Amino acid sequence: MPRVPALYVAIVDDDASVRKALARLLRAFAINPQTFGSAREFLDSLPSGVPECLVLDLHMPDMTGLELQSELLARNDRIPIIFMSAHGDDSARAQGLNAGAVAFLGKPWETQELLDAVQLALEMN
């Protein structure tokens, strides 16, 4: 298993191109990303280190972003979450934000909007 940096931002998205683009963007701003193709893969990584922030896709097979958020809350893992979705789902947005998400961004995202949300999330720790 790869070693996770002590301070990192986790990216969970089932789309490899989105993971790659987000990781490249965060590295350009001196933020260490770790990418995961599924919620389960991310959960399995937690014993290796907890991220400072989680950039999370809303719609994924097997376990959605909202389901992962619920699982983390049930485990008492208070990781600041930034949701991303290509679909304007007001109900999901409200549910995620009411459960403590830092932001809910659309895809494609605006670079500054994403960086501002990550900065806000990192300041929460």
Query: Tens digits of per-residue pLDDT, 50-106?
Result: 899 999 999 999 999 999 999 999 999 999 999 999 886 899 999 999 999 999 999
Q: Range of 26's domain? A: 9-123
% the chain with pLDDT above 90: 77
| pLDDT > 90? residue 11 | yes
Mean pLDDT within 14-37: 94
Give the side-chain half-sphere CA count within 13 A for 100.
16
Q: Does 72 map to a domain?
A: yes
Q: Does 2 map to a domain?
A: no
DSSP letter for each residue of 51-89: -SEEEEES--SSS-HHHHHHHHHHTT----EEEEESS--
This prediction has a pTM of 0.91
Q: Does 4 map to a domain?
A: no
CB contact set of 90 (below 8 Å; sequence gap of 6+): none
Q: Does 3 map to a domain?
A: no
The per-residue pLDDT for 97 is: 95
CATH code for the domain of 45: 3.40.50.2300
Q: How many structural domains compose the chain?
A: 1
